[in-house]
Amino acid sequence: MKNIEMTDITKSYDKQKNVLNEINLTIGEGEFFVLVGPSGSGKSTLLRMIAGLEDITDGIMKIDDRVVNHLPPKDRDLSMVFQNYALYPHMSVEQNILFGLQAKKVGKEEQRRRLIETTDMMGLGDYLKRKPRELSGGQRQRVALARAVVSQAPVCLMDEPLSNLDAKLRASMRVEIRRLQKRLGLTMVYVTHDQVEAMTMGDRIMVLHDGSIQQVGNPIELYNEPANLFVASFIGSPKMNIGKAVLNRAEGRLIVEDELNINASESLMSDIPNDASITVGIRAEHLTYATKEDATHFMEAVNVENLGNETTIAFELNNEIWTVKWPGQWEIEVGEMVPVKISCEDLAIFDTGSGRLIRAAKRVSKGAVPV
């Protein structure tokens, strides 16, 4: 296992605007670390810089405490899995898996031992003589993974390896990759634009936007305490409901999008600076259903999606769409006024100008702990 350390890593092309801006980051040994962000955020570029496929404009990159800025990929002792599998179409599964070992002149007996061990682990033993065109998407991805595993490199880089698979297969492959990483003790850096993959797979997540780090932390930290509005709207499915708000201190009221009038507690008012321009956010599960007598607000349903195990309902709030997600099946019709309960304790408060988090929501959605 190896650690990866980046100090003031910067990347630009032809002295134009930086693609990456002073990235400072340490990835621990044996850690499953996820780089997540929208298209163009710089995550794949950063991964390729770790691999040695992109030059570093400025800063220091270390792998296992050794500076690797000018080392070619073959000398960095790592493996990489690409989005498009990158299999040789004229070679069999066996030949694809062993290609790297043959290039390194690993002995025949050692090649055979690693091949059997890896294909047994990946469930590929029956496909060794097939060509890639004879395999399904999931099987091809397993071959690409097997090629990385058989190298026994302590660092494995993955660039959106599941994006070409259907939703069901992606879910099962997420479990397989996570189990494989833990079993082998690999230091894994995984790039994705899918925040569900990031939340379900990563020990820690780094959110990138416009080449800058927005936040680094474990999945629950990012979900419960997003550092800014971008992280709040990017992490979580559905995304956090966002709305501009005005605090009326004299009346102890918080007015959201000129429509929702919410009681403001003393603690909320003390947490918000006097001159702050604020935006509030609330998670879909914290907009709770209420009886007509207990409701704090009535909101008109503009869309209802009943998935069987849960129901999502969209409301329009001054041209903003807010979504609730409730477990079970709800017989609610479009156009119906739905009674809900909104507490100021469930609101995250952000500074509108900077987007910075002022106060996290006080309540989190913890499940029951079995006794």
Domain 4-226: which CATH number of 1.10.260.40, 3.40.50.300, 3.40.50.10190, 3.40.50.10330: 3.40.50.300
pLDDT at 370 over 70: no
Q: Which tops the pLDDT comparison, 170 or 305?
A: 305
Residue 311 in tokens: 């129901």
Sequence-ordered list of residues with C-beta below 8 angstroms from that of 103, at least 6 positions apart, any chain: none
CATH of domain 238-359: 2.40.50.140
What three-state secondary structure class fits 214? Answer: strand
Sequence-ordered list of residues with C-beta below 8 angstroms from that of 114, at least 6 positions apart, any chain: 101, 106, 150, 152
Sequence-ordered list of residues with C-beta below 8 angstroms from that of 113, at least 6 positions apart, any chain: none
Percent above pLDDT 90 for the chain: 67
> Which residue is it, tokens 């990835």?
27
Q: What is the mean pLDDT of the chain?
A: 91
**CATH topology match: 4-226 vs 238-359:** no
Which pLDDT score is estimated for 176?
86
Helix (H) or strand (E) holding 46: helix 43-51
Helices (H), ranges, 166-238:
167-184, 195-201, 219-224, 229-234
pLDDT at 368 over 70: no
pLDDT at 371 over 50: no
For residues 198-214, b (16+ Cβ closer than 10 Å) or e, as one string?
bbebbbbbbbbbbbbbb
- Residue boundaries of the structural domains of the chain: 4-226, 238-359
Using CA atoms in the order 44, 49, 54, 60, what is the torsion angle rounded to 10 degrees? 140
pLDDT at 369 over 70: no
Which pLDDT score is estimated for 98?
93
Q: Stretch 170-191: mean pLDDT, rounded?
A: 89
Is residue 94 within 8 A of residue 132, CB to CB? The reply is no
> Which residue is it, tokens 């190896």?
2
Which pLDDT score is estimated for 367?
53
Distance of CA 29 to CAs 3, 88, 112, 186, 191, Å? 5, 31, 28, 8, 18
pLDDT at 192 over 90: yes
Q: How confident is the model at residue 1 (pLDDT cuts 50, 70, 90)?
A: low
What three-state secondary structure class fits 169? Answer: helix
DSSP state of 356: B
pLDDT at 211 over 60: yes
For residues 299-327, b (16+ Cβ closer than 10 Å) or e, as one string?
bebeebeeeeeebbbbbebeeeebbbbbe
pLDDT single digits (tens) 64-113: 999 999 999 989 999 998 888 889 999 999 999 999 898 888 899 999 99
Is residue 61 within 8 A of residue 68, CB to CB? The reply is yes
Q: How confident is the model at residue 171 (pLDDT cuts 50, 70, 90)?
A: confident
pLDDT at 18 over 90: no
pLDDT single digits (tens) 289-304: 999 889 999 999 999 9
pLDDT single digits (tens) 118-161: 888 888 889 999 999 999 888 888 898 889 889 889 999 999 98
Residue 147 in tokens: 């090629």
Q: How confident is the model at residue 366 (pLDDT cuts 50, 70, 90)?
A: low
pLDDT single digits (tens) 272-287: 998 889 999 999 999 9
C-alpha 37 chain-centroid distance: 7
pLDDT at 179 over 50: yes
Radius of gyration of the chain (CA): 25
Q: Which tops the pLDDT comparison, 347 or 164?
A: 347
Which pLDDT score is estimated for 66?
93
**Span of 12-21, 236-245, 354-363 with lowest mean pLDDT:** 12-21
* Whole-number Å distance between alpha carbons of 177 and 142: 9
Instruction: For residue 21, list its beta bridge partners.
Output: none
Percent above pLDDT 70 for the chain: 97
Which pLDDT score is estimated for 17?
79
Amino acid identity, position 297: H
Q: Give me the half-sphere count of Cα atoms (radius 13 Å) on the Cβ side of residue 122.
A: 30
pLDDT at 217 over 60: yes
